[in-house]
Amino acid sequence: MNEGTAHSAAGPAQRSAARRRHAVPYLLIAPALVLAAVIVLWPLTVIGNISLHDVNRFGQLRGFSGLANFAELWRDPDFIATLWRTLIWTIGVVGGTLILSVPVALVLNRDFHGRALARVIIMLPWSVSVTMTAVVWRWALNGESGMLNSALRAGGITESNIVWLSSAATAFPIQIGIGILVSIPFTVTVFLAGLSSVPEDIYEAASIEGASSWQQLRTITLPMLRPFMTLAVVLNVIYVFNSFPIIWVLTQGGPANSTDILVTYLYKLAFRFGQMGQAAAVSIIMFAILLAITLLYVRLVTKTEAKS
């Protein structure tokens, strides 16, 4: 398309036609831009404003307070503990997902009996709402009549019932496990896309040269998969960092805030404790963290593009 040449046309009719043609892409993106901007950017400015003010529990501003809300958070031991727990949660879920998804994708990429079935099962959690999954697990983990306890006892693995959700020591690892389970389908999908981009003849050449399948994995497959791993890790970090239902449905961050992560703590501050100013400050801190992760990713991608 060369719309630039239209400028050289002299007549006013052509010029206005050219102008109209220039406007077309902007008209096409306008509805999407306006809708997304109003609903994403406006709340962001509202939150920024609240975070810098003294506010009542209904969110009405009472006077500029500078960084007082942030300072208040910093002195709150629950917030600091939540910050660390969010780090463990994110690294645990994203790392666990990566460790399981690479071998699953490698296996699913090869032909074997029952591959179609295996694929459907692995992808299944993607289609189920995380909320529903968490509700079902809450019931399965019930201390007295939950089916996990009865299954474990029937299998002779444990002797007495475990009250899984009553302490963070058992509840939080289980929440991480469920987080891993629901993140596997997307991650495997990305890796399968990556594996399908590796040309077959590389492997043929490698086996003619006498490379073992372990050597092929280490020197061909994994390096080719690296950009897809970066993509999956970054998207999972963003997704897991923001993930609310698993923790909220199973424990609501309890007992005594001991399984809270930033999102559940933010929700409690805003809608339970009525601490709008501090809730806004948590939002801004989360926004800053997410922005840093995204910029890091953009940097990584442009660097690898420049290299290739």
Partner 1 sequence: MNTKMRHTLIAWALIGPIAVVILFPFAVMLITALKPADEVLQPHWWPRNPQWGNFIAMWKATNFGPALLNSLLVSGFSTALAVAVSVPAAYALARMPFRGKGAFRQFLLISQMLSPIVLVLGLFQLVASLGLLDSKLSIVLVYAAFAIAFATWLLQSYFSTIPRDLEEAAWIEGASRTTAIRTVFLPLALPAIAVTCIFTFVQAWNEFVLALTLLRSQESYTLPIQIFSLVAGRYTIEWNYVMAAALVATVPVAIVFAIMQRHLVRGLASGAVK
Q: Which of 7, 42, 226, 272 binds partner 1 (CB under 8 A)?
A: 42
Q: Work out whether 128 is an interface residue with partner 1 (CB under 8 A).
A: yes
What do you get for the CA distance between the two ends of the chain, in Å? 28
Residues 212-271 that bind partner 1 (CB under 8 A): 228, 231, 238-239, 242, 244-245, 248-249, 252, 263, 266-267, 270-271
How far apart are the C-alpha atoms of 10 and 237, rounded to whole Å?
55
Angular region, 2: left φ>0, alpha ψ -120 to 50, beta rest? beta
Q: Which of 138, 254, 258, 274 binds partner 1 (CB under 8 A)?
A: 138
Contacts of 118 (CB under 8 A, 6+ apart): 107, 108, 112
Q: Which of 10, 11, 12, 127 binds partner 1 (CB under 8 A)?
A: 127
Residues 155-184 that bind partner 1 (CB under 8 A): 181, 184
Residues 287-306 that bind partner 1 (CB under 8 A): 287, 290-291, 293-294, 298
- Minimum CB separation of residue 131 from partner 1 in Å reads 4
How far apart are the C-alpha atoms of 110 and 104, rounded to whole Å?
10
Task: Give the pair of three-digit tokens for residue 14.
Answer: 């052509």
Helix (H, G, I), strand (E, B) or coil at 157: coil
- Taking contact as CB under 8 A, which single stretch among the options 63-71, 81-89, 163-171, 278-286 is the one that binds partner 1? 278-286
Q: Which of 11, 144, 169, 305 binds partner 1 (CB under 8 A)?
A: 144
Residues 60-119 that bind partner 1 (CB under 8 A): 100, 103-104, 107-108, 110-115, 118
Helix (H, G, I), strand (E, B) or coil at 211: coil
How far apart are the C-alpha atoms of 144 and 289, rounded to whole Å?
41
- Residue nearer to partner 1 on the CB measure, 168 or 232: 232
- Minimum CB separation of residue 206 from partner 1 in Å reads 16
Give 59's DSSP letter. Answer: -
- Minimum CB separation of residue 226 from partner 1 in Å reads 13
Q: Work out whether 135 is an interface residue with partner 1 (CB under 8 A).
A: yes
- Residue nearer to partner 1 on the CB measure, 10 or 99: 99
How far apart are the C-alpha atoms of 170 and 116, rounded to whole Å?
35
Q: Residues 108, 190: contact at Cβ < 8 Å?
A: no
